[in-house]
Copies of this chain bind each other. A is one copy, B any other.
Amino acid sequence: MRLSTRGHYGLKAMYDLARHYGAGPIPLKNVAERQNISGHYLEQLIAVLRKGGLVKSVRGSQGGYVLARPPEEIRVGEIIRVLEGPIAPVECVSEIKSPGCDQADHCITRTVWEKVRDSIAMVMDSISLADMCREEERNRQNRE
């Protein structure tokens, strides 16, 4: 029941972009350093996020990446789906078309996985990047 580093690092990167939202394009190198992720590897992940419409890129010197929408409008669930595919504890309950196993109708374990899937989606879709920034802000104030 593990996420790969794609989703893990990807959310970190998106959160980093959210924290700097409004400050123009952020070079990936900076994100990688702050979040302690291999730069080259992160390039691959951000390419997926770009193709998925979650970030926009600005090429050339002074370029970098910007969230495609304000942090308020990007939820964790979207990021994870773009990087890891549809949420599905087992294939036969994938959010996207499951080829469907033969016994789909009378398979009780299936209903268990549907419940798990829905609860994961519920949590991830209820948290936006802005929520994360606000929580960080609260934590920071509590530490003072």
Interface string of A111-126 (1 = CB under 8 A from B): 1110110011011100
Tell me if A11 counts as interface (CB < 8 A to partner B): yes
Interface string of A1-13 (1 = CB under 8 A from B): 1110001100110
Q: A1-B89, A89-B3, A90-B8 are in contact. Are A116 and B109 (CB under 8 A)?
A: no
Of the candidates B87, B111, B135, B139, the one whose C-beta lies within 8 Å of that of A1 is B87
CB proximity of A2 to chain B, nearest CB, Å: 7
**Cα-based distance from A76 to B139 in the complex (angstroms):** 35
Number of copies: 2
Of the candidates B7, B120, B140, the one whose C-beta lies within 8 Å of that of A120 is B120
Of the candidates B84, B119, B135, B143, the one whose C-beta lies within 8 Å of that of A123 is B119
